[in-house]
Amino acid sequence: MGRILEQPYEVNLQLTAVLSRLSSFSHPLLHEYLLNPYIHLSPCCRSLFSVLIRLMGQVMQRIQQVSHLSDRLLDTRRHLLGLKQETGLEHLTLLRGVVVLEEFCKELAAIAFVKLPLDQDHLDQD
């Protein structure tokens, strides 16, 4: 996951699909490890949250090199959706990685929201 900005688009899709499926399983240990940002791990271990934080730092550094970032990201999205045939080759792997990373974060947020336990006190007040 830490190499999502350098890996081929197809590899990133497969990786994020597997992580999404694992995150959606109703298993307390998988839930804890993949969706809890405050999990305590030994110093040599990384959680998904820590990898995502590191990736965001890399994105912020590397996008400084991309001119017209908003337009290039929009063109990349259109190309990935098949709406645009050509897109510039410069920084293409990075831009595809950013798109996949953004969509993966949205998917993880949706999974975490769906798995969020209902607050019993809130239900009793209604």
pTM of the model: 0.84
Tell me which of 10 and 30 has the higher pLDDT. 10
CA proximity to 32, closest of 49, 15, 18, 45 = 49
Tell me which of 26 and 7 has the higher pLDDT. 7
Query: Does the pLDDT of residue 8 top 90, yes or no?
Result: yes
> Cβ(15)–Cβ(102) under 8 Å?
no
Tell me which of 89 and 67 has the higher pLDDT. 67
pLDDT at res. 89: 72
Q: Which of 12-16, 101-105, 120-124 has the lowest mean pLDDT?
A: 120-124
Residue type for position 119? D
Helix (H) / strand (E) containing 101: helix 92-115
Domain regions of the chain by residue span: 9-114
Q: How confident is the model at residue 56 (pLDDT cuts 50, 70, 90)?
A: very high
> Cβ(17)–Cβ(111) under 8 Å?
no
**pLDDT, tens only, 78-117:** 999 988 777 677 899 999 999 999 999 999 999 999 988 7
Size of the chain in residues: 126
Distance, CA of 32 to CA of 47 (rounded, Å): 10
pLDDT at res. 119: 56
